[in-house]
Structure 1
Amino acid sequence: MDDAEQEGIDEDLIEFAIRESIQDAYKLPCGFRFTRFHICTDELTVSPRILRFSVCLGCVSTGDVDALQELSGCVSAFRESDGRGWMPLHAAAVQPRPEILHVVLQDVTLEEQTEEGDTALTLAAEANRVEGVRMLLQHGASPHNTNGRNESPLLLGSTTQHKQRTQLLWTSSYSTVTHWNGLRNSLGKHCTCTTSPSHQTVLYFLCLPLGGDVNAQASNGDTVLYDASGSGNLDCIKLLLQHGANPNVASYACQLPIHRAAYEGHILALRTLIPITTKRAIRLSGQSPVHSAADGGQVECLELLIQKGFDVNALLENYGDLRKSPLYFAVCNGDATCAEMLLAAGAKTDQDPLRCILVAIRAERYELVQLLLSYGAEVNCYFRVISNTVFPTALQYCLRDHVMLRLLLNSGYQAHKCFQCGHGNSEEMDSTWTDLHNQFCEFVSVSWLAHLVGSVVRMLLDYVSHISICSHLQRILRRRAEWEEISEILSKPRSLQHLCRLVIRSRMSLKILNNPEAMTTLPFPPMLTKYLTYREYEQYGEL
């Protein structure tokens, strides 16, 4: 055969390999297409090594077993890769014909990875090639190697519906791994145990007497039962419990399975875990499931826990921002439904260093503020960690929000304490305030608040009797548009009607004053009730 004839044969082989490989690549499942090959077609100059690889890859794609067997003597053809790092082994792993893979498996390394980190076993598991998975495992492929997405063959086998492949992978896994820590890591750090029916099979293999420990903990302290509780699969939870899983083993973050179920809102899992989780384990964890349910906004779980007798006033230990109560979680999340359920069950509003009412005010949660006030939250509380003021702290958080300020004043905020100061009017100042340095007139004198002081003082005057304004505050007010109206109010005696309202309100408890139902039980005509509660100034109801 002369050179011209040989060159013609080479050209035909190259053309055939390229055409067939590209054609059949599009017949593969999504995600297994070849984008390019290491074949130089410029002037048809191709090295024999590349030529043999191209032909081999074309035969794999077309399923030509006879041609592959003829090429089996050319070992180098099976060790080359294309632009994506795919070798003939990877292509054969996703083919539906196991005979192709059987031929390619001769004298190759099974753990070679593509550019995305996939091994042949990973690709076979993802493509649902059961016989391919079996064959690769029998030849020693590892089910634990992860790809660039942190997925292992074991994970891909466990998260699909194919029970037979899952059993193969787990059986192979247990030949080398005897503890959950290793199993969990080989599943991948983002894997949950209970996402599909096949996971019951997975857990069945886990619980068999093959050395697996259902109570062993992963690197972060999570147990299998903890993960199962987070996904809410009741069958898996019961299977674990039947084989000795301990619901009282906490993670390193002091979280129990009952906490996870309550936070995620898995009511059936929670109902199962409540009677078998000990009070001692919950106490040692430093957190109640009520905290978890409130934090997750899980109304049904919260209701169940309350029905089962869990304490709605249980206190947290060592939380980052020093919060203590379940109510704080609900208020912080703006969850009026959970907050009302906790309050109705007897939750206290004063258990946290930063009171729940102040959190709601600062977040401009009008509904929550009104709800907390109706259950007796103290509108005149103090939080002196940041600023130690003569006047109650709530005012600091609503100087710019007149709707919130009206709501607080209508609810009994002590407006007169904003006018207690030592600038020439010490006779009106309580001795208990003489050592406090942050008076209202000083607080609002800073440049970024001075423009607000006129409207705030004018509003405060609706809730006090005759008062005197210190010289320091007067200097600030004279520069504001509201000064003329303020000056006129201060220059005249307050009306008897207004003074009577203040006296009657001072004789009433704030819990009654802020509870509309309680107010209806008092022997007052409706018009008087409206007047006593400053209904003419109510702005929240108009929102």
Structure 2
Amino acid sequence: MQLMIRDQDEGALLAFVKENSGSSTATNTDGWTALHEAAYFGVLGCVMILIESKTSVLPINQTALLLAAYRGHVSCVEYLLEHGADPNICNKEREGPLFRACENKSLRMVELLLRCGASVNKTDNQGATPFHEAVRTDQLEVCEILFQAGAKISTFNIYGESAVLHRRTGWMFQCLGLPTDGATPLYEACKNDHLCTVEILLSHKADVNLPTKSGLLPIHQATQRANKQMVSMLLPLTSKKMVSSSGISPLHLAAEDGLDDILELLIRDGYDVNSQLSREHRLMYEDHRSTALYFSVCDDNLEAATILLEAGADPNLDFFNPLLIAVQKGNAELVELLLMYGHVHASLSTHKLGFPSAVLLAMNSINVLKLLLDHGCDVHPCFDCTNSRHDQNLTQTVILFQFCEAISKYSIKEPGPLISLLLDYVGHIKLCSRLLEILDGCNDRKHIKSKAGTRDHHSSLFITHYDYKTTTDRQGRHRDTR
């Protein structure tokens, strides 16, 4: 019979059914009868023959009605309903014919099923309703019909997977096209960038402040989708208290994705530029970032950083100072901007240094280093070092990482110009033994040593040795004094 149905050979099927009484109720390995087969392939003539032969319409794993709805065969659905098929019997996932009709974007089938008593708010195993499916697939007319039939627009599903988790791991659940976070239809519409659907939902008073189980709101998704118009629609209705409770501001998302126009829109609406990520959200980033400013600096977004700083962003709130990030990236424009608002001597809390942290990070960028120096970076500590050939009798252990050690450890390609630039800002100063050794390999060593007031030992002249004594300052550093 399967071959007859697939070939749409109604005459052969009719003759076979008449000659083989009861054969039409036999099932295959999937539990399908001939009626299931005919409904699945949408062969209305065969469906009619099998119904008239008294084949049961009751479910065997899946009803014939559900199969016809799944495949979008409206005429078969209509005929089955007229002959007693139940519009609310579901498959093992608890998906009914109405859910399938919404999935297939079949307006006529939705209307037909609703007229025949399909439950408009029936949920599947994941807590999704037909309305969720209509919103997800951006079917405005279907949404309106479901509204009129009594669909609840703020229904939650039952799953509690973190929305930030699926954001940070590639949106794996979003790719399935199903709500997985206790999301409302409005949240789903924003997530799928369906502006017109959002407008309809808002016109029906959908609540914009119902969060997902992880605390996210529709405005988070609208921002993430870079939909300025959608954000504008949600802003007047969204509670800043609810946003604060979520642990992440739309400002963070706008800054992370380089959405400068939305960033400005949010700031004008009064969103706090110094809002910090909650601990839970910070831990998702290796650098434990917390502010929108940090996101913009990491993205090399000068415009966004300018917008935030001019709006009052504090550049000293993050675990790692944004200035140091800009210095490390070698972004001179960002460094210059941040120096106007922050402290040039921002330190690395993860390193115990005997010299400015910014100098360590700028060693391979002379232009950035000069910017730091021009803005008052004190580099005298770079030469206040214990690594002198005459410091053999020191008994106190020095735990600070020294400038000369940094040059050696990080294999600076051209240490000569670096040391020469620093000397321009400190004048004559005694170079430690390690720096002298480093300079011995530089072509311009004579010029650099002359800046420091040290004679080149490669020349025919000897270095003059001055009497000196070792003193210890409050930090435990040893100084040579003449």
TM-score, normalised to structure 2, is 0.71
Task: Read off the aligned partner of 1:487 and give its amino acid letter.
Answer: K
Q: Is the contact made by 2:31 and 2:60 (CA closer than 8 Å) also made in structure 1?
A: no
SS in 2 for 1:444: helix
Q: Is the 8 A contact 1:112 1:120 kept in 2?
A: no
CA shift, 1:382, in A, is: 0.5
Shift of 1:389: 1.0
Q: Which amino acid aligns with 1:442?
A: E
1:246 is displaced (CA, Å) by: 2.1
1:297 aligned partner: 258
Q: Summarize the Cα distance change of 1:367–1:187 in structure 2 as closer, same or farther, 3 Å threshold.
A: farther
Aligned residues: 417
Does 2:205 align with 1:247? no
The equivalent position to 2:221 in structure 1, one of 256, 260, 274, is: 260
Distance verdict in 2 for CA 1:154–1:291, change over 3 Å: farther
Partner Cα separation in structure 2 for residue 143 and residue 301 of structure 1: 46
Q: 1:489 aligns with which of 432, 451, 454?
A: 451
Q: 2:275 aligns with which of 294, 304, 314?
A: 314
| Distance (whole Å) between structure 1 residues aligned to residue 304 and residue 112 of structure 2 | 46
Which of the residues 153, 156, 163 maps onto 1:216?
Answer: 156
**What amino acid is the match of 1:98?**
L
Q: Distance in 2 between matches of 1:334 and 1:69?
A: 73
Q: Note the alpha carbon deviations across 1:320-367, whole angstroms, 9 max, x for none.
A: 244222111222233333223223333232221211122233344444
Decide whether the 8 Å contact of 1:390 with 1:438 is kept in 2.
yes
| Structure 1 residue identity aligned to 2:425 | Y
What does 1:75-94 align with in structure 2 at a 5 Å threshold?
A: 92-93=38-39
Cα distance in structure 2, aligned partners of 1:337 and 1:93: 59
For 1:438 and 1:490, locate their aligned partners in 2 and report how far apart those are by CA, in whole Å.
22
**8 Å contact 1:398–1:404 — kept in the other structure?**
yes
Work out whether 1:205 is the aligned partner of 2:146: yes
Instruction: Please list the CA deviations of residues 456-487 of structure 1 after superposition, one character each: whole Å capped at 9, or x if unmatched.
Output: 32343343322211224334443555544432
Q: Pick closer, same or farther for the CA change 1:420–1:79 going to 2, 3 Å.
A: farther
Partners of 2:317 and 2:213 in 1: CA distance: 27
Partners of 2:186 and 2:361 lie apart in 1 by: 44
TM-fit CA distance, 1:387? 0.8
Amino acid of the structure 2 residue aligned with 1:419: F
Q: Is 1:343 the equivalent of 2:306? A: no
2-side partners of 1:461 and 1:264: how far apart? 51
- Check whether the contact 1:207–1:240 (CA below 8 A) recurs between aligned residues: no
Paired residues of 1:126 and 1:156 also in contact (CA < 8 A): yes
Distance 1:362 1:101, change over 3 A: farther
Write the deviation string for residues 255-296 of structure 1: whole angstroms up to 9, x where unpaired. Answer: 111222122222222222211222322232233332232233
When residues 339 and 451 of structure 1 are mapped into structure 2, their CA distance, relative to the original with a 3 A threshold, is closer
* Aligned pair partner of 2:361 in 387, 397, 421: 397
* Other-structure match for 1:193: 135
Structure 2 gaps of 5+ residues are: 160-180, 391-396, 456-482
CA distance in 1 between counterparts of 2:432 and 2:341 reads 33
Q: Are residue 62 (structure 1) and residue 7 (structure 2) matched?
A: yes
Q: Which residue of 1 aligns with 2:431?
A: 469
Identify the residue that residue 243 of structure 2 maps to in structure 1.
282
Distance 1:172 1:477 in 2: 90
Structure 2 match to 1:362: 328
**How far apart, CA to CA, are the structure 2 residues paired with 1:178 and 1:234?**
25
1:439 aligns with 2:402: yes
Query: Aligned pair in 2 of structure 1 residues 102, 332: CA closer, same or farther (>3 Å)?
Result: farther
Given the superposition, is the C-alpha separation of residues 396 and 139 from structure 1 closer, same or farther in structure 2, using an over 3 Å criterion?
farther
Secondary structure in structure 1 of the residue aligned to 2:135: coil
Cα distance between partner residues in 2 of 1:421 and 1:414: 15
Q: Which moved more, 1:388-397 or 1:402-411?
A: 402-411
Which residue of structure 2 aligns with residue 52 of structure 1? Answer: none
Structure 1 window deviating more from structure 2 (90-99 vs 338-347): it is 90-99
Specify whether residues 339 and 65 from structure 1 end up closer, same or farther in structure 2 by C-alpha distance, changes over 3 A only. Answer: same
1:383 aligns with 2:383: no
Q: Deviation at 1:381?
A: 0.8
If the length of structure 1 is used for normalisation, what is the TM-score? 0.64
Contact 1:171 1:205 in 2 (8 A): no
Q: Using a 3 Å threshold, how does the CA distance of structure 1 residues 333 and 450 change in structure 2: closer, same or farther?
A: closer
User: Counterparts in 2 of 1:158-169, with a 5 A limit?
Assistant: 158-168=102-112
Paired with 1:482 and 1:393, the residues of 2 have a C-alpha distance of 26
Amino acid across the alignment from 2:405: E
Change (3 A) 1:391 1:144: farther
Task: Indicate the residue corresponding to 1:99 in structure 2.
Answer: 45
Distance in structure 2 (CA, Å) of the matches to 1:412 and 1:326: 27
Report the secondary structure of 2:210's partner residue. Answer: coil
AA aligned opposite 2:404: C
Q: Matched residues in 2 for 1:394 and 1:141: separation?
A: 70
Question: In 1, Cα distance between the equivalents of 2:35 and 2:336?
Answer: 69
- Aligned-pair distance for 1:438? 1.9
Which is further off, 104-113 or 287-296?
104-113
> Of the candidates 369, 383, 386, which is equivalent to residue 419 of structure 1?
383
Asked if the contact 2:356–2:378 (Cα under 8 Å) also holds between the matched residues in 1, the reply is yes
* In the alignment, structure 1 residue 457 sits paired with structure 2 residue 419: yes
Aligned CA distance change for structure 1 residues 67 and 271 (closer, same or farther; 3 Å): same
Q: What is the CA distance between 1:250 and its match in structure 2?
A: 1.8
More displaced stretch, 359-368 vs 293-302: 359-368
Does the CA-based 8 Å contact 1:93-1:124 persist in structure 2? yes
Q: Any conservation in 1 of the 2:140–2:196 contact (CA below 8 Å)? A: no
C-alpha distance in structure 2 between counterparts of 1:172 and 1:398, whole Å:
73
1:172 to 1:402, Cα distance in 2 relative to 1, 3 A: farther
Q: Is the 8 A contact 2:131 2:143 kept in 1?
A: no
Q: Residue type of the partner of 1:357?
A: L
Report the Cα offset of residue 410 of structure 1: 4.9
3-state DSSP class of the match of 1:193? helix
Task: Check whether the contact 2:191–2:225 (CA below 8 A) recurs between aligned residues.
Answer: yes
Distance 1:207 1:358, change over 3 A: farther
2:299 paired residue number = 333
Does the CA-based 8 Å contact 1:314-1:325 persist in structure 2?
yes
- Please state which structure has a larger fraction of its residues in helix: 1
